[in-house]
Amino acid sequence: MYASVADLRAEGVTPAAASDARLEALLTEADAFIDRVTGWFFEPRALTLRFDGRDTPTIEPPVPVVRLDALLLDGAALSLDPEDLMVVGAPVAPGFDAPRFTLKRGRVFTRGDGNVTAVGLWGYTEPDGTPFGRTPLAIRRAAMQLALRILPKVADADGSTASAWRLIEERTRDQSYRLAAPLGLGVVFTGDPEIDQVLARYRRPPGLGAA
């Protein structure tokens, strides 16, 4: 999960308002909503993905790779050596625009239906000093806000607690975040400008997943 039950408890959600099981269910629902709206996910997940080769050196997978274990073309393993393959993945570095694999030395992903197979860990993570990175702090905060947004609908009939737990500022050991004033987004996902700002910023660019 992008956030934890302990995170919500730290925001003041008491056991009387919701049990641990209920909060875990709300966070799971929030994660699924974030994945659906943004078009990708924000934690390492083990997957095997297939792509169509198009006689080009570059393929753009639909999500950044965190750790690439194998890359096959027409069933034959390709070298993962940086001299043979450039990988743009996660943890996402400054200037990131899209995930991609690019073959070097004049090679291309030959044309075929699902003839390129990539095995590894996948997910949009941000640097934290570890090889896998972490869920972006803004996404973690959005998951908490979404869970808290849903909570009053089941915990308070008149919704009077809808803003009882309003995240204004969050601090970690080396960073702090303060929510900015709502901006005009041009898109509405939840109706809450604070959440929608984050989801809009992390949306997957259109057209990914092609060579």
Radius of gyration of the chain (CA): 20
Residues 6+ away with beta carbon under 8 Å from 88 = 64, 96, 98, 99, 100, 101, 102
For the segment 106-121, what is each residue's pLDDT rounded down to a tens digit? 999 999 999 999 999 9
pLDDT band, residue 161 (cuts 50/70/90): very low
pLDDT band, residue 157 (cuts 50/70/90): very low
pLDDT band, residue 188 (cuts 50/70/90): confident
Of the listed ranges 34-43, 62-71, 198-207, the one predicted with least confidence: 198-207
Q: What's the rounded mean pLDDT across residues 44-63?
A: 95
**Percent above pLDDT 90 for the chain:** 70
Q: What's the rounded mean pLDDT across residues 82-100?
A: 94
Specify the higher pLDDT residue, 164 or 141: 141
pLDDT at 154: 47
As a whole number, the mean pLDDT across the chain is: 85
pLDDT at 155: 43
Whether 163 shows a pLDDT value over 80: the answer reads no
Q: What's the rounded mean pLDDT across residues 153-161?
A: 45
pLDDT at 100: 95
pLDDT at 191: 83
Whether 90 shows a pLDDT value over 90: the answer reads yes
Degrees to nearest 5, angle at CA 142 with 194 and 101: 115
**The three-state (H, E, C) secondary structure of the chain, written as one string:** CCCCHHHHHHCCCCCCCCCHHHHHHHHHHHHHHHHHHHCCCCCCEEEEEEEEECCECEECCCCCEEEEEEEEECCEECCCCCCCEEEECCCCCCCCCCCEEEECCCCCECCEEEEEEEEEEECCCECCCCCCCECCHHHHHHHHHHHHHHHHHHHCCCCCCCCCCCCCEEECCCCEEECCCCCCCCCCCCCCHHHHHHHHHCCCCCCCCCC
- Amino acid letter, residue 211: A
Q: What's the rounded mean pLDDT across residues 140-159?
A: 74
* Domain boundaries along the sequence of the chain: 5-41+135-201, 45-122
